[in-house]
């Protein structure tokens, strides 16, 4: 097993780590990280183990950031290969061909090896990818999301080779980076890099009721993706049962602890009320800690002023059937 990122004393079993110890941290960083592309994801301690391990291997075993040609798998603007993809209806993982093309501005996958037409075309413009090993049940599990008819669609994939999976992840980030450079020509790398991929702000089970607040509460899996709060029957569902837009306090969005006093039918006792300009959304959490975490996540978004493009998203939500 490879060492953890925060355990440098165990790195010494690798020759390059011995060299690093002799050189000192600053000089080693200058050598092993000299050509890290701006889009390449640099893991932090909160990222999954596989991502942290592959970052170490990329630097010290494969020397990917000393020799540009070694970055071809994720820098070329085109990538194709096979990934295990979870079936939408039966939950089985089957091998599917994926093609990422910056020129076409899309990631596609094909159900059959010789198929001419793709099963899905995911525009780079709305693409996101985030590692979800626990949820998917595989150390290399990646959740890919994109917008289809302005609703979020999930695809769950993995590959048995960790490097292969990280290369796909960084190829998606590279494609997003080059797309955003064209879309926002004046923006700096520092402004664009945080927009390449994002982890969800929070996920977990809550209970919810319908718009009349007289329907029974149902347990649902919730995902908070920036201002989109989505709910699913199952964490690995392809489509959300519904989506709620969370705006800002300036636009009359608020989050309250607890439920209106007349509320009935919830099994969990730790309520949350989200007030929007149109209606109130009622949720119940199993524990006080979960309630606290969800309220903090909602509050972070509500406290942030809305960007111009988010008003267009909000307007779309208002017109959803």
Q: What SS3 class is residue 43?
A: coil
Q: Provide the 10 A C-beta neighbour count for residue 119.
A: 13
Give the chain's mean pLDDT.
91
Is residue 251 within 8 Å of 277, Cβ to Cβ?
A: yes
- Residue 136: name the closest of 155, 121, 117, 163 by CA: 155
Domain boundaries, the chain: 69-195, 202-319
Instruction: Measure the CA–CA gap between 302 and 252, rounded to whole angstroms.
Output: 9
Instruction: Measure the CA–CA gap between 100 and 251, rounded to whole angstroms.
Output: 38
Q: How confident is the model at residue 9 (pLDDT cuts 50, 70, 90)?
A: very low
How much is the pLDDT for 19? 61
Residue 287 has pLDDT above 70, yes or no: yes
Give me the residue label for tokens 């779309």: 316
Task: Answer yes or no: CATH 3.40.50.2000 is held by domain 69-195.
Answer: no
For 248, the token pair is: 């800002």
Q: How confident is the model at residue 210 (pLDDT cuts 50, 70, 90)?
A: confident
* 62 DSSP 8-state letter: S
Is residue 282 within 8 Å of 260, Cβ to Cβ?
A: yes
**Mean pLDDT, residues 113-136:** 94
Is residue 161 within 8 Å of 135, Cβ to Cβ?
A: no
**Mean pLDDT, residues 202-226:** 92
User: What Cα–Cα distance (Å) separates residue 137 from each residue in 131, 217, 252?
Assistant: 11, 28, 40
Domains 69-195 and 202-319 share a fold: yes
**Mean pLDDT, residues 292-302:** 97
Instruction: Measure the CA–CA gap between 264 and 281, rounded to whole angstroms.
Output: 14
Instruction: Measure the CA–CA gap between 318 and 311, rounded to whole angstroms.
Output: 11
How much is the pLDDT for 18? 59
How much is the pLDDT for 3? 45
Q: Where would I find the H helices in the chain?
A: 15-23, 25-32, 49-56, 72-75, 133-136, 162-183, 189-192, 288-302, 308-318
pLDDT tens digits, 48-88 = 999 999 999 999 999 999 999 999 999 999 999 999 999 98
How much is the pLDDT for 27? 81
Instruction: Measure the CA–CA gap between 141 and 244, rounded to whole angstroms.
Output: 26
Which CATH architecture best describes the domain 202-319?
A: Roll (2.30)
Is residue 131 within 8 Å of 117, Cβ to Cβ?
A: no
Instruction: Measure the CA–CA gap between 242 and 117, rounded to whole angstroms.
Output: 29
Angle between helices 162-183 and 49-56 (to 10 degrees): 90
**Mean pLDDT, residues 113-119:** 89
Is residue 180 within 8 Å of 187, Cβ to Cβ?
A: yes
- Residue scoring higher pLDDT (213 or 260): 260
**Mean pLDDT, residues 23-28:** 74
Percent of the chain predicted with pLDDT > 90: 77
Instruction: Measure the CA–CA gap between 21 and 172, rounded to whole angstroms.
Output: 34
- Residue 63: name the closest of 33, 92, 102, 90 by CA: 33
Instruction: Measure the CA–CA gap between 28 and 17, rounded to whole angstroms.
Output: 9
How much is the pLDDT for 5? 45
């Amino acid at each position: 097993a490879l060492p953890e990122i925060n355990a440098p004393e165990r790195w010494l079993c690798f020759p390059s780590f011995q060299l690093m110890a002799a050189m000192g941290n600053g000089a080693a960083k200058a050598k092993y990280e000299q050509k890290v592309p701006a889009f390449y994801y640099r893991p932090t301690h909160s990222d999954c183990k596989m991502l942290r391990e592959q970052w170490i291997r990329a630097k010290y075993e494969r020397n990917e950031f000393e020799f540009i040609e070694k970055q071809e798998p994720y820098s070329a603007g085109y990538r194709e290969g096979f990934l295990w993809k979870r079936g939408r209806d039966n939950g089985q993982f089957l091998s599917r061909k994926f093609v990422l093309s910056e020129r076409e501005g899309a990631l596609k996958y094909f159900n059959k090896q010789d198929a001419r037409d793709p099963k899905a075309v995911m525009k780079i413009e709305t693409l996101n990818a985030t590692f979800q090993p626990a949820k998917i049940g595989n150390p290399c599990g990646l959740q890919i999301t994109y917008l289809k008819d302005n609703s979020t669609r999930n695809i769950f994939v993995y590959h048995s080779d960790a490097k292969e999976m990280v290369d796909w992840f960084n190829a998606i980030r590279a494609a997003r980076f080059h797309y955003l450079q064209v879309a926002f020509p004046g923006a700096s790398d520092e402004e664009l890099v945080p927009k390449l991929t994002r982890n969800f702000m929070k996920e977990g089970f809550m209970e919810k009721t319908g718009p009349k607040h007289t329907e029974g509460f149902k347990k649902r899996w919730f995902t908070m993706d920036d201002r989109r709060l989505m709910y699913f029957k199952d964490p690995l569902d392809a489509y959300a049962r519904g989506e709620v837009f969370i705006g800002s306090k300036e636009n009359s969005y608020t989050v309250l602890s607890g439920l209106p006093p007349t509320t009935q039918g919830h099994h969990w006792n730790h309520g949350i009320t989200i007030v929007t300009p149109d209606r109130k959304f009622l949720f119940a959490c199993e524990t006080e800690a979960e309630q606290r975490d969800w309220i903090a996540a909602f509050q972070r978004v509500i406290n942030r002023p809305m960007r111009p493009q988010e008003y267009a998203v909000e307007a779309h939500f208002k017109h959803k059937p």
